[in-house]
């Protein structure tokens, strides 16, 4: 794939957004750090940058979209799962050309990679509800 993998962009963005969420550093600084310190071969750099810029920019709207479908305050959700949910909800709301199945499958895969043993079930359930709200209407 000439432009790089969006899957790898999402994977790296989860890590960057996790750092942003915990440290409250400027997303641009985190982006620079990740680009300097990680191997980006095969990564869709433009999409990585897009997510690291826009998820923090719209995180309040994203969190409001997620809140009715989460069984606790969004701030109490595991930070890795929160980063994955935010990427998924961002894509569902602001990237309508990405099919729902791709958004959810990617989020589930990232959850299996990064979160607790059954975290993928939680992520899948929440994003299913957000997708039904945003894309079915």
Give this prediction's pTM.
Answer: 0.92
Q: What is the CATH number of domain 6-135?
A: 1.10.940.10
116: phi > 0 → left, psi -120 to 50 → alpha, else beta; which? Answer: beta
The 10s digit of each residue's pLDDT in 67-112 is 999 999 999 999 999 999 999 999 999 999 999 999 999 999 999 9
pLDDT at 13: 95
The 10s digit of each residue's pLDDT in 2-30 is 367 999 999 999 999 999 999 888 888 88
* Mean pLDDT taken over the chain: 91
> Long-range contacts of range 122-126, CB-CB < 8 Å, 24 or more positions apart?
122/81, 123/81, 123/84, 123/85, 123/88, 125/69, 126/66, 126/69, 126/70, 126/85
CA 26 – CA 36 distance, rounded (Å): 16
Percent over 90 (pLDDT), the chain: 75
Q: Which residue has the tokens 């000439």?
A: 2
What sign for the dihedral angle of Cα 63, 67, 70, 71? positive
Which is more confident, 36 or 13?
13
pLDDT at 1: 38
């Amino acid at each position: 794939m000439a432009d790089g993998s969006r899957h790898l962009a999402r994977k790296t963005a989860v890590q960057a957004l996790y750092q942003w969420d915990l440290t409250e550093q400027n997303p641009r600084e985190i982006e620079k750090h990740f680009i300097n310190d990680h191997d980006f071969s095969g990564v869709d750099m433009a999409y990585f940058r897009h997510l690291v810029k826009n998820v923090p920019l719209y995180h309040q709207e994203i969190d409001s979209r997620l809140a009715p479908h989460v069984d606790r305050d969004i701030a109490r959700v595991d930070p890795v799962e929160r980063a994955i949910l935010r990427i998924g909800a961002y894509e569902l709301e602001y990237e309508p050309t990405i099919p729902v199945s791709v958004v959810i499958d990617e989020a589930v895969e990232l959850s299996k990679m990064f979160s607790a043993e059954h975290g993928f079930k939680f992520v899948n359930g929440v994003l299913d509800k957000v997708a039904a709200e945003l894309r079915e209407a």
